[in-house]
Structure 1
Amino acid sequence: MLNKLFHIRDQVAVVTGGGTGLGKHMAEALAASGCHVAICSRKVENCRQTAENIQKQYNIHAKGYQCFVQNEESVRQVITEVINDFGKIDILINNSGTTWGAAVEDMPLEAWQKVIDVNITGTFLMSKEAGKHMIKQQYGKIINIGSVAGLKAESPEILNATGYSVSKAAIHHFTKELARKWAKHNIHVNAIAPGFFHTKMTDYTLRQKGDEIKKRNPLGKIGDTDSLKALVLFFASPASNYVTGQIVAIDGGSSL
C-alpha cells in the first residue's frame, strides 16, 4: 500500500536549477524512485552532468537543458523540447533562484530586479507553460521552492537580503493562488520553505554565522537533505493527492 502511495515510476519531472545544490538532491530523489527527469538552468553543463550521472545510476531517462527562467521565449522552448523528448510532464519543481545580500538602503535597483525576475517571474513562467500541458492532460504536481525567509522577517545579523525574502513570500502566495485556480484541473500546487541548508548560496552565511544560526534553531542544527528528499517525494506522489496550496517549512523549527 505504501509503495503505491509514493509511486512515481515512469512519470516525468522538470526540475529548474537542478544541476547543483538542493535542486540536484531533489532530482536524485525523483530518479531513485524511477521518475524520468529533465533538468534545466542557465548553466547547462551542470544540468547535463547531473542528468548523465542520475541516468547511469538509476537507469531512468534524464536530460539537461539550458533555460533562462525569467525569459518567456526560453521557457517556452524548453517546455516544448521536454515534451518532445519525454512525451509529457507530470511534475514541475520550481527551484531556480538567486539572492543579493545588502541592506535595503544600499541595494541597487538592478539587484532587486534580478532577484524578482528570477525568483518570481521565473516561477510564474515555468508554471504557466508547464501548466498548459498539465491542464490538457488533467493532471500535474507543481512544487515551488520558497523559503523560511518568506515566512518571517529575519534579523539583519542573520540574513540581510530583503529582495530574496520578499520574493519567497510572493512564491508562497502564488502557490496558494495557483492551487485554488487549477484544482479543477486536478493539478496540485504546494511549496516547500527550507531553512538553512548547506548550498553554494548559503555557504558564506553559514561560514560566518553557522554557530549562531544553530543556536537559534529549536532542533539545534542545519538542514539535512534526506528530509528534503522525503518531502519532495510526498508532494510529487499520490501520497499528497488530498493536499494542495500548502507551504511546509523544513527548517528545524526556526520559523516557530
Structure 2
Amino acid sequence: MGVDPTALITSIMNGYITETASLEEMLYVKGKVAIVTGGASGLGFCIAQRLLQGGASVVLASSSTEKGKTALELLKRAGYEKVSYIQTDVRREDEVKGMVEFAVKTYGSLDILVTSGGVWGFAHVYDMPEEEFRRVVDVNLVGSFLCAKHASKYMIEHDIKGKIVLISSNSAFLSQPVFGGYAHYVASKGGVVAMTQELAKELKRFGICVNTVAPGGMMTPGNFYNGPCQKLPPEKLKEIGEEMTVNQMDEIPSADSVAIVAYGMCTRMSDGMNGECIVADSGMMRNIVKHQPAIREYPAKKEA
C-alpha cells in the first residue's frame, strides 16, 4: 500500500497547528517562581522587574541588606506584590541552599534561576593581590556554580522543567578596558560561559535548560563603586585610574536592554536553545559602532 504524500504533508502541517503553544504561554512566565541573585541593584534589578511584569513571583537575593530593602520598597511602590528579598552571600553554600528553601517556602516552587550577582575591580595582573583575584572568581564563578547546583537539585527532585540563566560578560571574548586590569573578571566570566555548556549537557535529560547572557558595559550603579582595586598602593591606584579614563565607548547601553534578553531566556521562547551564550552588548564585541572615535596615543611620548 503506497503512502499518500499529500495526506502525510497535511498531517504534519496539521500537527504544527495543534501542537503550537499560544503566544501568551510562550512570552509570559505567569505562575512561575524565580530567584535573581544580584537582584537588588543594576542588571539584576531590571531582570527582576521584567520577570514580575511577566507574571512571575520573584525572590531578590543580594549580600547587601540595605540595597535589598531599597529594591523591595521600589518594586512594591510600583505595584508589584509577589516579590521578596533574602540576604545571600553566594560564596557560602549554606546561604545559597537557604535561598532556594526560602523561595520554595514563600512561593511554593522554583522554576527560574538568574545569576546576576557579580563583583569586579581593576588591577593589572602584576599588581593584583591574590585575595582580590579569589574574591572575584569566588563570587562570579563559584557563586554561579553553587546557585545552579541547588536550584537544579530542587528542580530535578520535583520534576520541574526549569530555566537557568547565568549572566556572563562579553569580556570573556573581548579584552578590555584599553590597558587591561580585568584578568580576574575575565577568568570568572569565561568560566561561566564554559560551565554553561557543561551544565546544559548534564541537565538536559531532566528537561532543564541552561544558557548564559553576556552583556558589555552598561549604565548601572555598580559602575560608580567598582573602580580600581582598593588594595593597591596609592601610586598604583593613580596609575590605573588614569588608564581607565582613556577607555571610550561608542554608546553605553541601558541595563534594561540586556534585561529584556535575559527575560526572554527565562520564557518558552528559548525552548530551542540550550548551552548557548547570547552576547547582548549592542554590537560592541563585533565592533559595530555608530562612529569611530579618533585614536590618540597614551601615554604621550616624552620629548627627546
State the TM-score, normalized to the length of structure 2.
0.77
Answer yes or no: is 1:250 the counterpart of 2:280: yes
- Distance in 2 between the 1:119 and 1:212 partners? 23
Note the residue ranges of structure 1 that are not aligned, 5 or more in a row: 215-219
Answer yes or no: is 1:37 the counterpart of 2:58: yes
- Distance in 2 between the 1:15 and 1:151 partners? 25
Residue 54 and residue 201 in structure 1: after superposition, are their counterparts in 2 closer, same or farther (change >3 A)? closer
Amino acid at match of 1:249: V
- Distance in 1 between the 2:177 and 2:27 partners? 38
| Partner SS state of residue 66, structure 2 | helix
Is the contact made by 1:38 and 1:51 (CA closer than 8 Å) also made in structure 2?
no
In angstroms, what is the RMSD of aligned CA positions?
Answer: 2.0
Amino acid at match of 1:222: I
4+ runs deviating over 4 angstroms: 207-212
- Distance in 2 between the 1:190 and 1:5 partners? 17
Q: What does 1:103-114 correspond to in 2, within 5 Å?
A: 103-114=124-135
Task: Describe the superposition over 1:174-207 as per-residue Cα deviations: whole angstroms up to 9, x where unpaired.
Answer: 11110111011111111111011012333477x9
The size of the alignment, in residue pairs, is 249
Task: Describe the superposition over 1:215-246 as per-residue Cα deviations: whole angstroms up to 9, x where unpaired.
Answer: xxxxx311123322321221011111111111
Equivalent position to 2:255, from 192, 200, 225: 225
Identity of aligned residues (%): 28
Q: What does 1:1-256 correspond to in 2, within 5 Å?
A: 1-136=22-157, 137-154=159-176, 156-157=178-179, 159-203=180-224, 212-214=247-249, 220-256=250-286
| Partner SS state of residue 59, structure 2 | strand
Amino acid at match of 1:144: L
Q: Comparing 180-189 with 51-60, which one deviates more in the overlay?
A: 51-60
Q: Comparing 40-49 with 95-104, which one deviates more in the overlay?
A: 40-49
State the TM-score, normalized to the length of structure 1.
0.90
- Distance in 2 between the 1:82 and 1:15 partners? 11
Is the contact made by 1:196 and 1:223 (CA closer than 8 Å) also made in structure 2?
yes
Amino acid at match of 2:201: R
- Distance in 2 between the 1:225 and 1:2 partners? 25
- Distance in 2 between the 1:189 and 1:221 partners? 30
- Distance in 1 between the 2:279 and 2:246 partners? 21
Note the residue ranges of structure 2 that are not aligned, 5 or more in a row: 1-21, 228-240, 287-304
How far did 1:140 drift?
0.8
